[in-house]
Amino acid sequence: MVDGDGIDSLFTTQRPLGPIAISDSASTSVLRALYDTRVNLHLRSEHNPPTFIVGRRGSGKTALLLSREFESQNLSIRLSAQGVFSRVQSATDLIGSSMVLTVEGVAQLWEMLLWSPIITRLVLSRQKEDPERALQILWEETAGVRQEITNSSSPDDDALDFTTLRLIEHVRATPNVIGMDNLKRGFRLANRPWAEVVDAAKEVLDARGTPVFVLIDSLENIGDHIDRIKSILQGLFHLVGDIGLRTGKLHFRIQCCFPSELWPVLDQVSANPIKDFSGRMVLQWHWQDLLRAVGTRLRTFLARRYPGELRGIRDDDHERLIDHVLPPSLINHAGTPESTIAYVLRHTQLLPRQVLYIFNEALHRAIALTGIPRVYTAQILDTVADAEATLCPEVFSANHFRYPQAHAVARRLIPYLPFRFDDGYLHRMCNRAAIRADFGLDYREVREMFTDVGILGRYTHETERYLRAEFAYATEGQMILSPDEEYCLHPLFVRQYSSRDTRPSSPRAKPVYPSGIPELSP
């Protein structure tokens, strides 16, 4: 558990809701202090552990992945994506130079190497029910690994690194390696064939009945390297899919994070997507769960710093708690009364990192100004406007691999666009903004790009006060806009990139309410 001083260091007046992102090296105690296990995404993952956790940057992939460690009976192996892919790539390059290495062969190599940190952890977590002979084998065979990882801050990565280097040395010294079965029989970490060591580990796991999860954190920055590591990805996907089809007791499971922004490309890498990705879980947040996450952190902060602010508010009443520190309603820039919570949420893409960032900034400003956690309307309006300058570039950065020109095109084109328009208007404005001439993009390519990034959505209907629209991040699968439909701009981008309807000289336009945002009464 994080002690009192630890909690104080997480929840400060500079960041009342704590850090907005969780590092893959965060301790379990820190994760417990920041993570709410009662949100629906976590409850779904507990009931049916996903193999691939897919979400946009800032959607909480790392937190959900590491929450597997909350169960004390689980044995969790943490591997950094950059490290594990680099090691498996090195081994694959060498082995592939001496024999034909199929997708199935790469999958076997993955499994062979992943046993190294599992076996090392079994030795270091000895239990009374462990079979004595099997444990003795593991103890003897991991002597070199255990010496290598002494005082290591990343023991699982270092154990994998140690075994991979030994395997590479073995292949270089053995010119007659002609197949994966031959390799598994011939490779020795110490004295016994690796296959025999793995069998001993399985015997220990059978006796313990302990679930083992190999956790590989998000591969956010692999876009430029996908072609080079394609065979490695295919092997991993194949192994995960194969494990899901195995009958009998599973000795370990693999859970990986992948960014949604790259998923269309990764989906095409798989040789058998239906089998490989059957256990995929896509992170899409409901607004009430986002408020729960904010309210949980806010309650922790107030309990430490301003306990009197919690008086009379139930532990599970997150909306009332947030309304207690925020003005319940405000007058937006269009002069329309609006729920403060709805105003904040519709200027995000329903990502925890974005929502936490805005609330953190607003609370910090309020406390710095008045010394108490009460936010005024002007502070909310100013915070949201300022936050857009940070959040918009982050969205473009996350999509840079697929759409490297998205930011430049948005700067050029959005000033020509109102909140609501049709396909013909988009075509004309692309021509007027010289998009094809300067960027080489047809207006249909612009439509697809803006839709995937979440700038452009499908207009659905109009209320007395608002325009309602669906955006890709809140729908299942890829959103494809028809030329017969009308479109809307997402509120996050309109002010930052000077949409036509944000200018004082323009007629007052109705604000856009993205799908998933409630029209709470002001």
Packing angle of the helix pair 194-208, 132-141 (nearest 10 deg): 130
Phi-psi region of 498 (alpha: psi -120 to 50; beta: other; left: phi over 0): left
Confirm whether 488 is domain-assigned. yes
Amino acid at 310: L
Same domain, 238 and 293: no
Confidence at residue 1, expressed as pLDDT on a 0 to 100 scale: 42
Packing angle of the helix pair 423-432, 443-453 (nearest 10 deg): 110
pLDDT in tens, 249-300: 889 999 999 899 888 888 888 888 888 998 999 999 999 999 999 999 999 9
Confidence at residue 2, expressed as pLDDT on a 0 to 100 scale: 52
Confirm whether 174 is domain-assigned. yes
User: In which element (H, E) is residue 432 found?
Assistant: helix 423-432
Same domain, 267 and 304: no
In this structure, the strands spanning 486-489 and 456-462 are antiparallel
Q: Which domain holds residue 303?
A: 287-398
Residue 71 CB neighbours (<10 A): 12
Same domain, 130 and 200: yes
Contact 387, 348 (CB under 8 A): no
- Token pair in block for residue 277: 């990705």
CA 102 to CA 320: how far, in whole Å?
57
Domain-terminating residue out of 247, 262, 282: 282
Confirm whether 14 is domain-assigned. no
Domain-terminating residue out of 248, 282, 316: 282
Same domain, 300 and 277: no
Same domain, 278 and 293: no
Same domain, 314 and 449: no
- Token pair in block for residue 108: 């076997």
| Most confident option among 29-38, 220-229, 399-408, 472-481 | 399-408
Confirm whether 3 is domain-assigned. no
pLDDT in tens, 202-249: 999 999 988 899 999 876 667 777 888 899 999 999 999 999 888 778
Contact 262, 252 (CB under 8 A): no
- Token pair in block for residue 192: 């016994």
Same domain, 438 and 378: no
Same domain, 371 and 498: no
Chain centroid to Cα 378, Å, comes to 32
What distances in angstroms separate CA 324 from CA 17, 310, 405, 425, one per listed residue? 15, 9, 42, 44
Same domain, 68 and 215: yes
Domain count, the chain: 3
**For the chain, how many residues are written?**
522
Chain centroid to Cα 320, Å, comes to 29
